[in-house]
Chains A and B, each alone.
Chain A
Amino acid sequence: MQRNNPLTLLYDGLIVILALAFAAFFAMQIPTIAQGETIRITLPWVDFLDVNLSFYIDGLSLLFALIISVVGVFVALYSGAYLAGHPQLGRFRLYLMLFMMSMLGLVLSDNLVLLFVFWELTTITSYLLIGFLHETAQGRRSARQALLVTGGGGLAMMAGFVLLATMGGNWELSQLLTQGQSIKEHALYMPTLILLLCGAFTKSAQYPFHFWLPNAMAAPTPVSAYLHSATMVKGGIYLMARLYPVLGGTPSWMVILTVFGAITAVWGSIVAMRQNDMKLVLAYTTLMALGTLTMLLGSDNVVAITGMLTFLLVHSLYKSSLFLIVGAIDHESGTRKLNELGALAGKMPITMVSAAAAALSMAGIPPFLGFVSKEMIYSGAISLKNMSLFTTGSALIANFLMVAVAAVLILRPFFGPAVATPKKVHEAPLRMWLGPAILATLGLVMGVMAATTGHWLIQPAVQAVTNTQQEIHLALFHGFNTPLLLSALTLALGIGVFLAYRPLNGLLAKLESLVPVTGDKMYDHALNGIAKIAHWQTDILQNGSMHRYLATVFATIALAVGYTLFAKGGIVWPDMWPQLRFYEWVVVLLILASTVVTLLAQSRLVAISALGVIGSCVGLIYLMFGAPDVALTQVTVEILVVVLVTVALLKLPGHASVAEPSGSERFGRGVIAILIGSVFTLLLLAVNSVPLDMKITEYFAANSLTLAHGRNIVNVVLVDFRGFDTLGEITVLTVAGITAYQMIKLRLGRSGK
């Protein structure tokens, strides 16, 4: 499996170095930011839309940037070994690198449009990475589902950004952060909030959009570790935290975030218990984490925000570590199903120790950082002014289930009876155990050095989110208080659940079956619904019938123009009945009679002849009004048309092969014909009520001989005054001639080429 040629190693190395460079750069910014300063860099980009390449580093963006680059280092290191020998490894590296840079761009952007650009780039790279195993239908479906769900949310968010920038009069976040008060009182606050939360909730997989995340586990495991637990899914959390000073703290903000976050957290941890695939276990616990983060962001106190940011950090560490470990187990043993694994501790000792460290952090056992964050979450939840009981209760349920899940993840694969696995198990190669080990160790070190972590990493982020200069203190031991009691309760309940796993499992299954419809099913229904509507529309509109098309077109024209004339008062009735001479009446009646004959004719020949009569009568009218040349042209054309169409009709299949229109169809067509005729009559009557401006005619008459040297004004108009029209018209005739020739001569077969 390991085919490490130098070039492959070089490429792998380049990404690792790039990530390392980012990590080092951001680490160097820690002292500056910890002093409460911010860094802003701006370059012009699309000035027309006030879009700048502006980046903003404060405590919040720095915390995220550090997580992204540090986890990125180990994921890049790991992937080269995990996918060694895969034919599309090059593409994978490219996507992974693009993702890392986009994700960094997302958290560092100061300009809202720039943030959106990076946001969508993470969606696209996520699409490509979920679909990396693209020859499986499951991979394709999951990739597309993630794209459509998060992409849809992204579009709503874009609208929200436009509204936000309109309210704040600025596209730069650093400016908007100071305008929270006026924006919260703006009439557009509610729609903006909902639109932005659509973006955040879809990206961060909050109920009811959570379903795409477990499906995204179709991606290779390093992708799940990186995008779908440590970084991209936290993009929505980042957005909400970032906008906390602008939009946060209102009753609607608090209720929406607390309730949806709690549902996501509790539901995620319950479902996690029921999974057999270790990746799915981790996916659902990620939902628990994302829900908890959202729920805490719904709070209004600094302690809860501190807990939220600490939990964000610790979750990124232990969860990416656990994902990578599951990947290593899968890689070495050929399976990641809990019931197909056992007693791996002896065969994979380093992996086991890392896994244990990560799981202890997840379960919130001292002295791991997970314990610190859990304590902070509890004390924040207790001190909430509103919904304190609800939040505390939800956190408690989610947390004790995490204890149970952590126990399952360690005890079942690594201990217990040995089970035969598809592959013979060895310890994972260096590149695959190093990352998880370091990430898990970081959880321990940071826990032991809680105060330092708090000062350098968490406090600046808390200050950025709350927009205050509040100092915070993290410690392993806060004295004997309610949070500690809750922690003890969490541990006890967690162990209880683990021990009572089997009976509880049945209960959970029942609970799960109570949910009437899952998001995943809803997604399918929505897609099927669209397809159904689409087919319905096509059957009605684009049904292939020429009659239907023309009838629709004419009816639309008649109704639109007719209604406008009527509604806008454009109709002008003539003052008196027209004073026609007797032979003029004859022509008019002849036209009317021929029209009726055309409508009623049973044979095409009769219909076309009747049309010919109408045309000839129009020629007569020209004659009566002193335009014999036009009349001559009209009559000639009319005769030609009748003759040619008749010849063509003789060649066409007879009536028998064409469906005879039914009575109602005939009636419908008659109505449309009469409507369109009436509309044009009304138009003409109205136009005729205005005297014609003869300026141009007079100019032609006056200058035809003197300037254009021609006595026949019509000819001069055709070849000189408006000669360019004539150029176009004769070209039309030429092309028509060529077309007729080619239609007769060139008949390719059905297949063409």
Chain B
Amino acid sequence: MNNLLVMPIVIPFSAAVLGMMFNKYKMARRGISLAGSLALLVVSTLIMLTVQRQGIFALQMGLWKAPFGITFVADHLTAIMVMLTSIIGLIGVVYSFADIDEARESFGYYSLLQVLVGGVCGAFLAGDLFNLYVWFELILISSFSLLILGGEKAQIDGAIKYIAINLVATLMFLCGIVLLYGITGTLNMADLHLKVKDVANTGLLTGIGVLFIMAFGIKSAVFPLYFWLPASYHTPPVIVSAIFSGLLTKVGIYAFMRVFTLIFTQDVAYTHNMLLIIAGFTMVSGVLGAAAHNEIRKILLFHIISQIGYLLMGVALFSPLAMVGSVYFLGHIIIVKTNLLLIGGIIKRNAATLELKLVGGYYKSAPILAIMFFVSAFSLAGFPPLSGFWAKFVLIKSSLIQGSFGIAATALAVGLMTAYSMTKIWGEAFWKPNPQEDDCSKQALSNQERYLMYGPVIGLTIMTVVMGIWAQPFLEMSNYAAQELFNPANYVKAVLGVMP
């Protein structure tokens, strides 16, 4: 049964390889990718069920027992993240059928997408710090490849900035791992949890922890390290931006959650306070960035950054309730932010632009799209009874209970600013009359494209509504994840086989 854990790597990689082999045939490469994504969804469901039934479980690669070999571990957090990845992967593939042109497809688009998905799953499953680094590298190169695929001038410019800054993160992560190995002699995270307690020079350990904050901080696009995101995410086809926004920065947040509950907890007052300050600035800075822009995708991209602040806030508050908020928030934001970008993609196909002053009238001409956007946008802004409300409510509740009034006030104010941005898009793109009413550049979607693009959007919208109205099971699941993170004994036992 534990072999299940390697399937989230095997399936996407197989789909990637097969896709390359049959790359010549359009239906084959599409079919393979779709089948791979569906299979991954099944596997992620099985992993989730297994975790719920038997708790945390692990797979020792090649049967080299931990900490000597490489371990894959699944707890609730991992199961949730793999599940979300498989959903976004599937939705990405379906939407790409309509949004990706023949040229990009024939240069291996679907295979690269599958490699990316496999890499992201690997990062969530890795129980070994160096192995996590390897998946980070794979995510970086495959996302770079998707980013630059097509070779448009803007893409190249964006992709260079993307990879240069992210390489710094990778380098810092690697240095951190090496230094940590130097003082503990192990790479296995469960083993590290035990070994860091014996480190005498806690000042050094905290210093290394801050190095990890910097590395993961670049990866998850926090203030003031996020430059790569707004510089690059607006350049590729919209579906690529949407997939990136759903998956990439969230891997960084996952790494924070894992490493800053399992390893670096010796000086929470210092490290997690630093995280809290970063979280506050990230929220504000991101939302201000959005206020400065008038292009739908750019506005949404800056909101990725501000929402990262919320996710980090839950980690930084370092309490089970706050962590519940962050985990639930991850599910919420992956779904909603991806969805908003997908809606942007439909607008872009229709109007050939995303500049607010050039689009309009969708409230009248596309009521379904309008409903989908309205629900998602207000969910993002945190209005009840949608998922965004519960996400923010739990975070704000926990910060107030813990007496962190500053971050609570910041989070509330940024929520209002998010409403400001979302109503800006709504007012201009949906309510305002269409400024280019008779423009012949408007293309209608074919019926098939309509299904392929609206299907994912409707599905994701339903998810945010369900997560909001039927919040209890999702919060419960997040609670399991948080409890596991705050009681690492079970994790350690699953990996090392002994109770610490």
Give A contacts to B, CB under 8 Å.
45-49, 88, 113, 116-117, 120-121, 123-124, 127, 131, 134-135, 139-140, 143-144, 147-148, 151-152, 155-156, 158-159, 162-163, 166, 527, 530-531, 533-535, 537-538, 541-542, 544, 546, 549-550, 552-554, 556-557, 560-561, 564-565, 568-572, 680, 683-684, 686-690, 692-696, 699-700, 703, 720-725, 727-729, 731-732, 735-736, 738-739, 741-743, 745-750, 752-753
Contact = CB atoms under 8 A, between A and B. Distances in A.
For the complex of A and B, the 9 pairs showing the least CB-CB separation, nearest first, are: A693-B185, A570-B203, A568-B203, A728-B134, A134-B431, A534-B291, A534-B292, A570-B204, A687-B182
B213 interface: yes
11 contacts: A88-B364, A124-B378, A135-B433, A541-B227, A542-B231, A553-B168, A568-B207, A570-B201, A686-B201, A722-B70, A724-B61
Contacts of A694: 185
Nearest to B217: A556
A544 B231 contact: yes
B306 to A, nearest CB: 12
A542 B227 contact: yes
Contacts of A531: 291-292
B152 to A, nearest CB: 5
B472 A46 contact: yes
A549 B228 contact: yes
B122 interface: yes
B292 A537 contact: yes
B423 A542 contact: no
Nearest to A131: B431
Contact of B201 (A45, A572, A695, A750): A572
A680 B182 CA distance: 14
Interface string B144-171: 1100111111100000110011001000
Interface string B398-435: 00110000001100110111011001000100111100
Contact of B383 (A124, A143, A544, A554): A124
Contacts of A163: 400
Contacts of A684: 179
A148 B237 CA distance: 33
A554 B423 CA distance: 37
Given A159-B409, A696-B186, 8 more contacts: A46-B475, A537-B288, A568-B206, A724-B62, A724-B131, A735-B141, A747-B152, A748-B103
A372 to B, nearest CB: 39
Contacts of A534: 288-292
Interface of B: 9, 13, 61-62, 64, 67-70, 101, 103-104, 107-108, 111-112, 115, 119, 122, 130-131, 134-135, 137-138, 141-142, 144-145, 148-154, 160-161, 164-165, 168, 172, 175, 179, 182-187, 195, 199-211, 213-214, 218, 224-225, 227-228, 230-231, 237, 267, 270, 274, 285, 288-293, 324, 363-364, 378, 383-385, 389-390, 393-394, 396-397, 400-401, 408-409, 412-413, 415-417, 419-420, 423, 427, 430-433, 471-472, 475-476, 479
A687 B210 CA distance: 15
A530 B201 contact: no
A721 B148 contact: no
Nearest to B203: A570
Contacts of B363: 134
Nearest to B213: A560
Contacts of B267: 568
A556 B202 CA distance: 22
Given A550-B168, A729-B137, A121 B184 contact: no
A560 to B, nearest CB: 5
A735 B142 CA distance: 6
Contacts of B227: 541-542, 549, 552-553
A722 B225 CA distance: 32
Contacts of B67: 696
A683 B207 contact: yes
A565 B151 contact: no
A47 B209 CA distance: 37
B384 A550 contact: no
A699 B153 CA distance: 51
A487 B108 CA distance: 85
A725 B153 CA distance: 34
Contacts of A743: 148, 151
In this complex, the member of A569, A692, A752 whose beta carbon has the largest number of chain B beta carbons within 10 angstroms is A752
Nearest to A687: B182
B116 to A, nearest CB: 9
Nearest to B108: A738
Contacts of A535: 292
A746 B285 contact: no
B151 A156 contact: no
A728 B291 contact: no
Contact of A683 (B161, B211, B390, B472): B211
In this complex, the member of B104, B119, B292, B413 whose beta carbon has the largest number of chain A beta carbons within 10 angstroms is B292
Contact of B385 (A117, A148, A158): A117
Contacts of A139: 431
A419 B338 CA distance: 58
A144 B288 CA distance: 18
A739 B145 contact: yes
Contact of B141 (A49, A147, A695, A732): A732
Contacts of A748: 101, 103-104, 150-152
B420 A148 contact: yes
A689 B179 CA distance: 12
B214 A561 contact: yes
A752 B150 contact: yes
A752 B153 CA distance: 10
In this complex, the member of A143, A570, A742 whose beta carbon has the largest number of chain B beta carbons within 10 angstroms is A742
Contact of B64 (A120, A538, A721): A721
In this complex, the member of A158, A699, A700 whose beta carbon has the largest number of chain B beta carbons within 10 angstroms is A158
A746 B151 contact: yes
